[in-house]
């Protein structure tokens, strides 16, 4: 039996392909480490510095957790934590814009 879900090759050529994948992913596979690997590959092969930065924001955001209104780092050792709010040096404009498009 053929699946009606579109097939997505995980070799994103640009952020629009990544966004389309996320919008069509009903299994929430975007949290999968393989997807993380592919957005990292996109960031590393893209030449445009702004697009590289946006790919990094996508990676940071995927690791970002909020519980009861507080930021919970994915990793923490003493005072060192990842991710931190400081990684988003655009006042969260990119994430706000992305959220408003959904």
Token readout for 2 is 């053929």
Between 4 and 74, residue with greater pLDDT: 74
Compute the average pLDDT of residues 84-99.
88
Q: Is the pLDDT of residue 31 over 60?
A: no
Name the residue ranges covered by the structural domains of the chain.
15-101
Predicted model pTM: 0.74
pLDDT of residue 91: 87
Compute the average pLDDT of residues 13-24.
86
């Amino acid at each position: 039996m053929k699946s009606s879900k579109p097939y997505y090759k995980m070799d994103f050529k640009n952020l629009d392909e990544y966004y389309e994948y996320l919008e069509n992913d009903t299994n929430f596979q975007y949290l999968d480490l393989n997807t993380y690997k592919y957005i990292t590959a996109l960031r590393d092969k893209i030449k445009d510095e702004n697009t590289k930065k946006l790919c990094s924001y996508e990676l940071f955001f995927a690791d970002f957790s909020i519980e009861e209104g507080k930021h919970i780092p994915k990793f923490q050792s003493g005072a060192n934590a990842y991710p931190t709010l400081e990684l988003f040096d655009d006042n969260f404009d990119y994430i706000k814009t992305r959220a408003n498009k959904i």
